[in-house]
Structure 1
């Protein structure tokens, strides 16, 4: 990291400091080396087929057929060109645009899939359907994390909120045989976990990260105990919730490629679309969002103008818990159909990484969650088509992507200034 002084208005006396970051070019360069060694050095012969259509599409798109070895060489060269451009941007102390990183990521994934699927066919619509399904809990968790951190509370307890929501939704929906009652139960469970976080972090000024970790362990232990001792012996009564049926939106559901993924989903997924847009709009376009962000950036100034910092933090952390709990309900009412021990499998921590990767912005955090969901689903698709990639590596892939994304591709970011800092009114 170097610092360049750039004159302003041709006056040497007036200078502004520009940060020159090499983090993104370095990360992209590492991926270019990997692509060159793996996709070219260990190149494969044959053709790679990408199936773009399903039987129910309004019109059929032809399969995309790529000569494996030639396609990998061309795409790796393009990756190197993009990396070279980011080096030029870094030398000029300019920020690498997010869209360029996104294009690079898509190109690298296509390059990898082309190499891995030599002689086989990749069902693109199925890949996207699985990606969205695995991303739903991550997106709800990320939205809760954005709200919590924007108001000044680090929400490490997302994992516990998702797990509590999954457990409560399964039990409530099983007892009432009403999936909507299960959703309500999941939100209440998420709020209860948030109440504990808020009470210790805001009122008693306990370290927020420690409280979050303890809550995750507590919820995991409680749900595992009740699953073994209560739900398993009485699964017909307490762990057989009704699942939400998929709702097919006419016309939109028949759009090739994206139609099956976006518009043949359960009510929970459609609520997620609304939640992402609503959280973004309210956070940046309403008085509530302005107060929330003020408390997370400068609580002393917010207190000076009459905002109750403790109350604002408490209720917004509770709202974040309700949103995360709602996401946990998807696991039992939209995907699996029952509660299983530790079924979140670290989704809360990946959601927290999505918050950081998304720079505490709801839309960017959603895109980051989709990226991590794609990495999780990729292992399933590659195992089906018989990829040469070892299965052990594929199991590690979601977490490797998480680490690389947060450590290598985030660039210069700044968390809300008061995030994680208790506020004591003077």
Structure 2
């Protein structure tokens, strides 16, 4: 039983990691007032170009760099449309997601061929010396991909940045009171641009984790709604990074149950297990978990003097 629990915790962390990476980046952007509904598209784009870069070069680390670059490019276009052109953020996000799905599917079929499952060079699991052999904890925490450890460090850095730096204060200011922030000398547009680029950077890591660190291949629509779950986690967490990470772990645990319960001989309808993460996300978005208070200017464009 102890071994099964350790495997369940390890699976929860692995399945929650792309959500935690994407959600922590999205949290920065939303605190600055920009909603990236295109998070799903960013992750899918990153997963494809990460897999392509790893396959073409034979180097998974170069693949991760390609994934991050592709996602940051998408986030830059998102920032230009949302911040500079003040386009409707919901429409822009939906458009990007449709475009990403269509473009990656087309390129995948052209380059790899239809229904290909060609394995790509992937990142190996990193067994932490002296810790991976520990009973229970070794299996649960110290036999993960290197991106897991880098990702946890990045999440801590984002927490520190939001709560203990002047840039974090600027992010919160332009998300709540952009006009007051502008009068105080804070560059609203530049701050929002940086926040969206941070989202792209983190979504790039998330997409790379899925295709390069976890599955070692690319399949059509392989993110399968992970970006939307990450968005729901930000809402579930009340725009607080600690609670957002906890929400991602909850979604990861719900997904891990799909594999754990049958292994334990517990018969639960598969359809219910598949639905469980999205049911939790729906409850979060519906506000069942409590009163939600988003940043005051979330999705609202800013124009100086108006």
Taking structure 1 as the reference length, the TM-score comes to 0.69
Output the CA distance in 1 between the equivalents of 2:137 and 2:16: 15
Residues 152, 296 of structure 1: 8 Å contact kept: yes
**What is aligned with 2:300?**
421
1:265 aligns with 2:215: no
1:274 to 153, 157, 163: 153
Output the CA distance in 1 between the equivalents of 2:41 and 2:271: 27
**What is aligned with 1:393?**
272
> Structure 1: which 5+ residue stretches go unaligned?
1-50, 54-122
Output the CA distance in 1 between the equivalents of 2:250 and 2:40: 18
Output the CA distance in 2 between the equivalents of 1:151 and 1:258: 38
**What is aligned with 1:364?**
243
User: Who wins on radius of gyration, i.e. which is larger?
Assistant: 1
2:187 to 301, 308, 318: 308
Q: Which has the higher strand share?
A: 1
Output the CA distance in 2 between the equivalents of 1:376 and 1:336: 16
Q: 1:366 to 1:182 in 2, by over 3 A?
A: same
**What is aligned with 1:355?**
234
**What is aligned with 2:214?**
335
Residues 151, 292 of structure 1: 8 Å contact kept: yes
1:193 aligns with 2:74: yes
1:229 aligns with 2:110: yes
Output the CA distance in 2 between the equivalents of 1:212 and 1:142: 15
Q: CA deviation at 1:250?
A: 2.7
1:141 aligns with 2:22: yes
Residues 280, 361 of structure 1: 8 Å contact kept: no
**What is aligned with 1:150?**
31
**What is aligned with 1:208?**
89
- Structure 1 consecutive aligned stretches of length 4 or more whose deviation exceeds 6 Å: 233-236
CA deviations over 1:322-376 (Å, ceiling 9, x no partner) = 1111110011111110111000000000000000111112221111101001101
Residues 154, 209 of structure 1: 8 Å contact kept: yes
SS at match of 1:360: coil
2:51 to 162, 170, 174: 170
Higher relative contact order (CA 8 A, sep 6+): 2
**What is aligned with 2:283?**
404
SS at match of 1:253: coil
CA deviations over 1:366-421 (Å, ceiling 9, x no partner) = 11101001101101112233323222222211111222344355312211111110
Residues 170, 240 of structure 1: 8 Å contact kept: no
Q: 1:381 to 1:133 in 2, by over 3 A?
A: same
Output the CA distance in 1 between the equivalents of 2:174 and 2:134: 43
Q: 1:160 to 1:383 in 2, by over 3 A?
A: same
Taking structure 2 as the reference length, the TM-score comes to 0.95
**What is aligned with 1:249?**
128
Output the CA distance in 1 between the equivalents of 2:133 and 2:172: 40
Output the CA distance in 2 between the equivalents of 1:247 and 1:126: 16
Alignment length, in residue pairs?
305
Root-mean-square deviation (Å)? 1.7
Larger deviation: 415-424 or 246-255?
246-255
Residues 157, 215 of structure 1: 8 Å contact kept: yes
Output the CA distance in 2 between the equivalents of 1:181 and 1:399: 33
Residues 128, 258 of structure 1: 8 Å contact kept: no
Q: CA deviation at 1:188?
A: 0.8
> Structure 2: which 5+ residue stretches go unaligned?
none
Q: 1:417 to 1:408 in 2, by over 3 A?
A: closer
